[in-house]
Structure 1
Amino acid sequence: MPASSDGSATLSPARIRYALLALALGGFGIGSTEFVAMGLLPDLAQDLLPALYASSPDAANAQAGWLITAYALGVVVGAPTIAAAAARWPRKQLLLALLAAFTLSTIASALLPTFGLVLAARFVAALPHGAYFGIASLVAADLMGPGKRARGVALVLGGLTIANVIGVPSITWLGQTSGWRVAYLVVAAIFTATFVAVAALVPLQDGNPQATMRSELRAFGRVQVWFALGIGAVGFGGLFAVYTYVAPLVMEVTGLGAGAVPLVLVVIGVGMTIGNFIGGALADRSVRRSMYGFFVVMLLALTGLALSAESVPGLLIGVFFVGAASSALSPTIQTRLMDVSHDSQSIAAALNHSALNVGNALGAFLGGLAIAGGLGYVAPVWIGLGLSGLGLLLTVATFLVDRVRRGNRVELPYGTAAIRVVAAE
């Protein structure tokens, strides 16, 4: 049976399952805090920007999208900083510190009175996001054992995707009926429950005693790390250009009422959950083929959604496959990052979420510009198509670099051994 990283204890299968569930509960809380703003965007705009909303709801919705952009930028800043600085910390203690930070900053988001202060609170609330997923993914991979890394990552991310099936729609409904501030207080309660679960169920694991800020930051000197980050940052803009403005898309383009928004979020969440576990399983077989295949599905789904969003079937089928393809890419890209980062594992595991949230910020920002420019609520879908197309081009480029490097490898026989000359990273 797998042992904890310090070798002090052998864990039963049941204990491993409970530990993984505790880690996934954290993903559930993070998915809720990250995505619930998208379903409540008109409510946030009306409450925090009342004068602007009265004169131009479109402009107010676009500005409220900054709350999503601020969260995404907080992830980008916090993930590499915390992961590199705290790589030596015992992993369980680090996870508990991050969960405490989530709880307090989410409470602040719910209670602060003005748009500017809530914007700042959302940035702060995002700082632990990438580090939590990065460290939790390493813990899960260790618990799962060799050959199951991507599935371990997918299990942790499963909490996030399940949040989009259960947490985000139900909390969105609660926010619509009881106020968005109540919704964020519920999210804070989820983080509190996760703190208790991790404290009770996750085994102690040492950090990396050899890790330093300098050694972790070496990852940024590797070309393939930058390719992987670019794939996540640009390619995931396709999802977030759609997801950020899904509420006005449902109401203004498809012509459904506000009550349909949580149901559409359930459809996206089901797609994300299915895609996440498919992505984890297929990435353990072939990262390259998985990335190509899921990007093609993403492009087809975005095209179909842009052309058929006025109809209910077109909307539901489109958002389902956008959610599924994008979520399948997440464990795939994370595994790729871990492959190309070599000994900088802590920062690599966290950087995936920095990259995805660059996509979050980029999709939300560009989609907001299009809406504010009068191009309508389908325009962000077309923008997402362009971003995902660039992600596919970067995927082709990164594997071409791999092929060139393999071509530059020279085998020099020497007795029964061989000396391998490989192009430098």
Structure 2
Amino acid sequence: MPFAVYVLGLSIFAQGTSEIMLSGLLTELAADLGVSIPQAGLLISAFAIGMLIGAPVLAVVTLRWPRRSALLAFLAVFIAAHVVAALTPGYWVLFGTRVVGAFVYAGFWAVAATTALSLVPPDARGKAMSIVAGGLTIANIVGLPAGTVIGQHFGWRAAFWAVAALSALTMAGVAAKIPGGRPTEVPDLRRELRTMANPRLWLSYSTTALSTGAQLVIFAYLGTLLAKTTGLADGWIPAVLAVYGIGALLGITLGGRTADRYPFHTLIVGVAGLIVIAGALALTATMAAPVVVLAFLLGAFGFATNPALNTRVFSLAGAAPTLATAVNFSSFNVGITVGPWLGGLAIGGGFGYPSVAWIGAGLGVLALGTIVLSMALRRKESPAAPAEEPMLVAAH
């Protein structure tokens, strides 16, 4: 595996820590800024809104840029947004910096994914994406608990300063290891747009959005659920979040090994497991031991689908992957936006924190339906094809 792929994974770790660390900082943010916890939770959705817009827009804008130049530009803006966030006294300025930071983070994701997949042979795409996306998994294990501890002891602003500093360090790795020239084949925007007419591609986007929403509606309020429903002391919350991250690392590692050869099996097992776990969490939210185990399983099954969700879109896009891959990242962020928003509505409506797990189970059922429909459409279009859809065949 080229070392540049690991550099991209490290960069995603640095920026991904910002994406997820608010889950452990909502209480501190709400108290300091004078807003409710559901309002503070909308800062997670703000980040997702920026990614939702940023991925396709920046993928098109930078289509002909040298990839290294694009990645460095995105990192520079991301760092600046976090410096402003650390200094702001107001909620809405912070909200704005979350959108801006996420906008360029989405551009980084889209270019990084295309870069990583172009650096490896077709049969290693799943593993390459598991390494790049694994940066976010490591952020769950290290970045999220560390951000929570920093926020509890030094204030939430210190966590933003830490992300800015870590992101600045990754710029050196990107400058040193990512190829600096333009893509050998200059992407054709018209061909990219024609690719987007594929209905199976949009069905895959639906799977991405729904399965992500199922996980994120729970994850966004997991730290608060642990404190207010399960009754854990503040000092234990980072440890449980780290357990979730360990599960995520295991899940994405296993998913990366099966995504290329068994994409549909990987998706079905991951989403079905997520549905069961969400229901169990809703029923046992007041009991510490089951919640800790379920947090681990939530990370494992939730992240196991990630490589298949990414590489399947890349394969369906064929020779025009840039925009299709970027829209898939937007689909992830539809789920990240809608999930916490639905959870906030349920909590604000007085249904309690366990209600977010029931919402997660419902979204998971819808996601499972899109997978079954996609398999049926595959069989209808290619009756002689096996039920499983190998990545390499779909790419041609």
Task: Measure, in 2, the Cα distance between the counterparts of 1:205 and 1:148.
Answer: 23
**Residue matched to 2:293:** 317
Task: Measure, in 2, the Cα distance between the counterparts of 1:267 and 1:171.
Answer: 15
**Residue matched to 2:196:** 220
**Residue matched to 1:412:** none
**Shift in Å at residue 372 of structure 1?**
0.3
**Shift in Å at residue 201 of structure 1?**
2.1
Q: Does 1:207 align with 2:183?
A: yes
**Residue matched to 1:30:** 15
From 33, 44, 48, the equivalent of 2:29 is 44
Task: Measure, in 1, the Cα distance between the counterparts of 2:332 and 2:236.
Answer: 27
Q: Does 1:130 align with 2:106?
A: yes
Moved more, 69-78 or 107-116: 107-116
The residue type equivalent to 2:322 in the other structure is S
Question: How many equivalent residue pairs?
Answer: 385
Task: Measure, in 2, the Cα distance between the counterparts of 1:211 and 1:270.
Answer: 38
The residue type equivalent to 1:406 in the other structure is S
Q: Does 1:61 align with 2:37?
A: yes
Asked whether the 8 Å contact 1:172–1:262 carries over to 2, the reply is yes
Asked whether the 8 Å contact 1:247–1:258 carries over to 2, the reply is no
Asked whether the 8 Å contact 2:25–2:148 carries over to 1, the reply is yes
From 86, 109, 118, the equivalent of 1:142 is 118
**Residue matched to 1:345:** 321
**Residue matched to 1:413:** none
**Residue matched to 1:229:** 205
Three-state SS of the structure 2 residue aligned to 1:218 is: helix
**Shift in Å at residue 142 of structure 1?**
2.9
Task: Measure, in 1, the Cα distance between the counterparts of 2:110 and 2:255.
Answer: 17
Relative to the length of structure 1, the TM-score reads: 0.87
Asked whether the 8 Å contact 2:79–2:167 carries over to 1, the reply is yes
Moved more, 77-86 or 348-357: 348-357
From 120, 143, 151, the equivalent of 1:167 is 143
Asked whether the 8 Å contact 1:241–1:366 carries over to 2, the reply is yes
From 338, 354, 362, the equivalent of 2:338 is 362
Asked whether the 8 Å contact 2:209–2:331 carries over to 1, the reply is yes
Structure 1's 172 and 298: CA in aligned 2 closer, same or farther, altered over 3 A?
A: same
**Shift in Å at residue 136 of structure 1?**
1.5
Task: Measure, in 1, the Cα distance between the counterparts of 2:134 and 2:384.
Answer: 39
Asked whether the 8 Å contact 1:88–1:212 carries over to 2, the reply is no
From 267, 278, 282, the equivalent of 1:291 is 267
**Residue matched to 1:391:** 367
The residue type equivalent to 1:366 in the other structure is L
**Residue matched to 1:191:** 167
**Shift in Å at residue 289 of structure 1?**
1.3
Task: Measure, in 2, the Cα distance between the counterparts of 1:135 and 1:112.
Answer: 30
From 227, 234, 250, the equivalent of 1:258 is 234
Asked whether the 8 Å contact 1:227–1:398 carries over to 2, the reply is yes
Relative to the length of structure 2, the TM-score reads: 0.93
Question: Any idea what the Cα deviations from partners look like across 1:8-61, whole Å, max 9, x if unmatched?
Answer: xxxxx7xx23x2222111111122010011110111111112xx5xxxxxxx00
Structure 1's 126 and 208: CA in aligned 2 closer, same or farther, altered over 3 A?
A: farther
From 152, 171, 180, the equivalent of 1:176 is 152
Question: Any idea what the Cα deviations from partners look like across 1:318-341, whole Å, max 9, x if unmatched?
Answer: 111111111111111111111112
* Structure 2, unpaired ranges of 5+: 386-396
**Residue matched to 2:391:** none
Three-state SS of the structure 1 residue aligned to 2:187 is: coil
From 276, 282, 301, the equivalent of 2:252 is 276
**Shift in Å at residue 139 of structure 1?**
2.2
Question: Any idea what the Cα deviations from partners look like across 1:360-419, whole Å, max 9, x if unmatched?
Answer: 11110000000000000100110011011111101111111111111399xxxxxxxxxx
Asked whether the 8 Å contact 1:238–1:386 carries over to 2, the reply is yes
From 238, 244, 247, the equivalent of 2:220 is 244
Asked whether the 8 Å contact 1:130–1:351 carries over to 2, the reply is no
Q: Does 1:88 align with 2:59?
A: no
**Residue matched to 1:380:** 356
Task: Measure, in 1, the Cα distance between the counterparts of 2:299 and 2:109.
Answer: 19
**Shift in Å at residue 156 of structure 1?**
0.6
Three-state SS of the structure 2 residue aligned to 1:298 is: helix
Task: Measure, in 1, the Cα distance between the counterparts of 2:106 and 2:377.
Answer: 27
Asked whether the 8 Å contact 2:50–2:102 carries over to 1, the reply is yes
Task: Measure, in 2, the Cα distance between the counterparts of 1:67 and 1:170.
Answer: 19
Task: Measure, in 2, the Cα distance between the counterparts of 1:35 and 1:71.
Answer: 10
Structure 1's 208 and 68: CA in aligned 2 closer, same or farther, altered over 3 A?
A: farther
**Shift in Å at residue 148 of structure 1?**
0.3
**Shift in Å at residue 208 of structure 1?**
6.0
Question: Any idea what the Cα deviations from partners look like across 1:244-299, whole Å, max 9, x if unmatched?
Answer: 11121001111111222211110111111111111111012111111111111111
Asked whether the 8 Å contact 2:251–2:302 carries over to 1, the reply is yes
* Structure 1, unpaired ranges of 5+: 1-12, 53-59, 410-425
Question: Any idea what the Cα deviations from partners look like across 1:161-188, whole Å, max 9, x if unmatched?
Answer: 0111111101210011101011001001
Three-state SS of the structure 1 residue aligned to 2:99 is: helix
From 304, 313, 336, the equivalent of 2:312 is 336
